[in-house]
Every structure is written in structure tokens, then in C-alpha cells.
Structure 1
């Protein structure tokens, strides 16, 4: 489904990503691990077109979404279309505080619906369809009783589950998680990890940037270890965690186990 070819990204003289290449099959979960500052979040932001790579190509379902060799300016509408391939769940929820949980999940779908040529004449039916879909997603997140709550009335775990429902609302090809539990305490972390595990069981195609090593080992089909902007080692969870070949990977896993 996804092919990332030779992606590079620099901020000024600092190279943050260097020659990043990997692929992801439909229905599989990819975990990306590594220390802070290794480029994991920047990679996700490049995939979601929140950052523009300096080099490389990104393809989804055989369609080239980005090619650094093509310098032609892209319209905002075209960038929005390309972003629809990816659903993004951020570290700090990023919910709109003035909207309820249900409204947060509906918002993007309603904005896109207004671009449809039939929106004016079918506005009420379209709105009802979007609302029913949002209700289903929030129920899937076990938030049936929290739909009318505003973000400040929700726990961190509940807010993150709303954010996951929002990311699913547009039915993306690939769901991306950027350290989704880093802002949560252990109890709330468990809530969110159970939801992600359930999505993996449903064969949702996912990229998960995480510091939860046990979770990555249990849920991911493939794991990348990044350090200093490069992919140092990759493989199945058993290969990476139990039969590590690279000294930098071993050092990272050893430090992480000591700190936990």
C-alpha cells in the first residue's frame, strides 16, 4: 500500500531524515522506535504533508503522492486530497476546545462535504450520514456517554480516543500514531493501547511511533529502529527485539529496559 523511497529532510543545515526507505502492506502495522530526536515525528509529518521533504518519493496504492523531483506548486485542494490517504493521531490530542467530542469527529467530514456539488440540495441527508458515522466511531471507542462533552470535560485517555475516532472518520488508507500515549499516565495509556490493539486485530493499516516497546513487540508486524535520522535496523518484532544485529539498536534497547 505504502512505498517511501529515499526521503530526506533538512531544517537549515541540520539533516533530520537521511535516505529513508520502507514499504507497508495493506492490513499490517508498522512500529517505529528510537530515541527522542531521531526523526520519527518528522517522518510522520512528511507522510502527512505537514512538512515537505527535500528529496524522495511517497506512493500510496501505486499513486505518486509526492516526488521531490516535481517542483510544480500544488494547490491547497490537491494537498488536502493527498492528506486524505493518512489519518493522523498526535501526541497531545489537538482537539478543538470549542467543539464537543461528536463535533470534533464530524468537523473534517463536514468541511469536505461542502465541496461536493450536491451539498446544497442534499445538505440534511449528508449531515445525518456524517453524524451517524461519527456516533458509530465514538461508540467503537467506548465513548457513547461522552459525545456531548467538551475536551476539558474528558480525561486524557478519552480525548485521545476522540482523536482516534476523528482520524478514522475520513476512512484513511493508513492510520498514523505519533507517540499517542506520551502525554498519558499508565492507567490511561492502557485505555488507548487497547483501542490500537483492537484496530490491529481488525487489520487496520497503521504506522505507530511509540516508546512502548512491549506494545510494539506484541502488535507490530514490522519494526523500524531510527537513530540520528536514519533507519539503523528493521525486521519482524522477534528479529529486532530478540535477535538484534546492530550495536546501536542493542544499546538503545538496553538503555530503554534499564529506564523502565
Structure 2
């Protein structure tokens, strides 16, 4: 069964239709890359999945449970919204770390706040917080940052900050990890270190959606690729097939221009 099913999603900003009848599914353990020109709707799609935007039409289901249905608009409480967002971990292109917190504090903050809702929190506070700290250290070590736990964002390179952001997104054990152009703010050398981390997550069968302009990376790491243009899904399928042998003329035009650039 698919871990994620998106059906007929539309998103309008005023009279502008940014997403148009978008449907796809994602299997557990697979990586999906979304490619396309700027303004094609890629980031808006991720924001809809993460409940940062509300679609005007369509449904979203995770693990067989419908978590959004535009035909049944319901005013959600903050707690309900947080619960739905927990299905997704979001890594933004601009890191969005809290400058006043260390790398470890950035990674553990959300988990500590969530732990306060546990019925046993007051009774076992010390043990719970110790376990969260240990989990945070393990994630930073996985990112190659075991020696940077006490560093603040301004003491880290862009690539290190992005790896902290990835560890933070993993901390709450999301069903699906989402990346919004995770290397666009990095220079080429730092891009490589972040891509290596994402490649490692793919090797571990982490379920991911990656919006990217790195075509070779998308081809080699993703299981499936979606090409978007003007809010539509123009082509989707096996990653190597779409990149190396696209079926649609619009996909061929995009990839041709991209390779020339």
C-alpha cells in the first residue's frame, strides 16, 4: 500500500491556479524527485502536503488514512494541525534554524515540546529529556556533526546548517521527509556534502520527496520522478526513464535547456 496518496489537488491564489489536478502516490521506502522550472508549482505542492497551505480541491491520504479532504472543510485545532504535520518532516532551502539555539537544541526542541503532552511527562521528565538529547546526538552523528552539537548556527557552514536542519526534520520520525531545493542556497562544494547525506538516507530506504534542480542526482538517487510545468504534472515515472528517455516533448525541452545551462 502507498504511504502517500495525493488525488486531484488544486491550489489557487486569487484567480491564479498554481496547482492543477495534481495526483500521484508514493510507496514506503521510495524517494520521489520533483523537477521543473521555477514557478511550476513544486514548492506550493510541498507546502500543501505540510499543511503550510490549504488546497482548494482534492484529497491527501497517509498510510490509508485521509488527512485532508477539500470537500469536507473542517476548522482544525492547533493540536490537530500539529498531529497532521507530524506525518511530514520539512527541510527548507534556507535552513530556518533558530540562531539562539545550538545545533543540538535546534534538533531536540520540537521533540521536547511534544513530550510535554505525554501523560507521564511530569513523573518521568528527567529520563524523557535525557532520551531526547541522546536521540538528537545520534542524529547529528548520522549527519557527520558529532563534534558540532554545541555550536550555534553562525558557527556552522551552510552545508553544516542544512545537515542540522535534516537531523531536526528526522527527529520526530516522520512518515515522509520533504526537501525543498535543499542545495539551492549552497556553493558547489557544500552542495556535495548535503547530497551525500540525502543519498545515504535513500540507501536506508527513507521515504522522501525531493524538490531539486540537481538532475543527475535526481536520476541516480530517486526511484520516481515527477516533472511539473505550469501547475500540471506533465510526466511521471521511473527516474532513469524520465531523465534519460522522456516521453513528453515538454519534458524533453526542459531537460535539453537544463543540460545546456
TM-score normalized by the length of structure 1: 0.99
Mapped pair 1:67 → 2:69: yes
Unaligned runs of 5+ in 2: none
Distance (Å, rounded) in 1 between the aligned partners of 2:205 and 2:31 = 8
Mapped pair 1:98 → 2:89: no
Give the 5 Å matches for 1:1-260: 1-259=3-261
Unaligned runs of 5+ in 1: none
SS in 2 for 1:106: helix
Structure 1 runs (4+) deviating above 2 angstroms are: none
Task: Identify the range of structure 1 (109-118 vs 155-164) with the bigger mean alpha-carbon deviation.
Answer: 109-118
The number of residue pairs the alignment matches comes to 259
TM-score normalized by the length of structure 2: 0.98
SS in 1 for 2:66: strand
Pairwise CA distance, 1:238: 2.3
Q: Deviation per CA, 1:25-60: give whole Å up to 9, x if none.
A: 000000000000000000000000000000000000
Q: Deviation per CA, 1:83-139: give whole Å up to 9, x if none.
A: 000000000000000000000000000110111111111110110010000000000
Distance (Å, rounded) in 2 between the aligned partners of 1:127 and 1:200 = 29
